[in-house]
Amino acid sequence: MSSGDTWAERLRSLFGDVSCDTAIILGSGLGELADLALDSLCFAYSELPGFPVSTAKGHPGRLVAGILEERRVLLFAGRFHLYEGYDARQVVAPVRLARALGCRQLLLTNASGGISDAFVPGDVMFIDDHINLMGDNPLRGEFGDPFIDLNSLYQRRLFEDLSAFATRQRIRLHRGVLAALSGPSYETPAEIRMLRLLGADAVSMSTVPEAIMGKYLGMEIAGLSLIANVAAGLGPTPLHHDDVLNAARNNSDSMIALIRHLLCRWSPTAPN
């Protein structure tokens, strides 16, 4: 039995049937969405033996199962990062659990630094592709066939409708490429110039391992990045994690509106 199956059995023993359709991993400062689920069950990660511990500020470490937009969802309020000392296989524990509980869709959110000149703090980027510069991959050491094709990793078909909704709601939504570095230090201005040359529009310390594992497990993947700050060297002030958290909280209404609309429109049977 895999670790994901073991954790799923533990939850079933505590709460009965907790099968869900869609899993949402909430980025820094975005945990408010978990409080909006109806008919919800909430449990701490610590109730799952062997499940990682969330130590990063802004990641409370709780799992909520409930109803959003008439969909059964799992909401992970707290993710794991390489900079906490975990490897890529450990940080994808929520993805393994979600798939074991029946989720076929995985929505990944994060707070990121904007590289594109078109982005300002408070904007949202629909993840169109990524660049993995973390130095690790969650499929390293996988016993199954790990050579998966990532050509169509993210559900690009969702963008057009989501963009039209964002325009009606006066939410600044872009699409772009997310670069992932391990952290915890922020990037240097030289590294940001490099990322821009490589084609990155935003930079994060998360999300990419989860997307890869979700694809490997046969899930449909979508991602939204809240632009919390301009990347290193592009703004006049030093970067601080508290500022990232505040920006995420101050713009959570936009993210929540986009997530709700996406849940209404995301058919799990539609082609990529």
Going by their DSSP bridges, the two strands 220-230 and 202-204 should be labelled as unpaired
Residue type, 235: G
* Catalytic-role residue among 45, 84, 251, 255: 84
Residue 191 maps to a domain? yes
The total domain count for the chain is: 1
* Catalytic-role residue among 56, 111, 134, 200: 111
* Catalytic-role residue among 8, 45, 56, 59: 59
Over the stretch 121-162, which tens digit does the pLDDT of each residue have?
999 999 999 999 999 999 998 888 899 999 999 999 999 999
Average pLDDT for residues 250-271, to the nearest whole number? 83
Residue 211 clears pLDDT 90, i.e. is over it: yes
Residue 137 maps to a domain? yes
Residue 81 maps to a domain? yes
Residue 271 maps to a domain? no
Residue 1 clears pLDDT 70, i.e. is over it: no
Please give the pLDDT value at position 56.
74
130 noted as active-site residue: no
83 noted as active-site residue: yes
108: Cβ–Cβ under 8 A, 6 or more apart, which residues? Answer: 25, 27, 127, 207, 210, 211, 214, 221, 222, 223, 224
* Catalytic-role residue among 110, 112, 116, 206: 206
Residue 97 maps to a domain? yes
How does residue 272 score in pLDDT terms, banded at 50, 70 and 90? very low
Structural domain of residue 56, as residue ranges? 3-265
Predicted TM-score of the model (pTM): 0.93
* Catalytic-role residue among 8, 28, 166, 231: 28
19 noted as active-site residue: no
**Percentage helix, strand, coil, to 5, in the chain?**
35, 25, 40
Residue 272 maps to a domain? no
Over the stretch 36-70, which tens digit does the pLDDT of each residue have?
889 888 888 888 889 998 887 767 788 999 999 99
Evaluate whether 267 touches 138 at the Cβ level (below 8 Å): no
Q: Is 97 helix (H, G, I), strand (E, B) or coil?
A: helix
Q: Which of 21-25, 163-167, 263-267 has the lowest mean pLDDT?
A: 263-267
Residue 230 maps to a domain? yes
How far CA 152 is from CA of 14, 127, 197, 225, 264, in Å, comes to: 37, 12, 22, 18, 22
The CATH number assigned to the domain holding 57 equals 3.40.50.1580
How does residue 240 score in pLDDT terms, banded at 50, 70 and 90? confident
84 noted as active-site residue: yes
> Within 10 A of 45 (CB to CB), how many other CB atoms are there?
22
Q: List the structure tokens of 222.
A: 């979508």
* Catalytic-role residue among 100, 205, 219, 228: 205
111 noted as active-site residue: yes
Please give the pLDDT value at position 18.
84
Question: Regarding predicted confidence, which is higher, 27 or 220?
Answer: 220
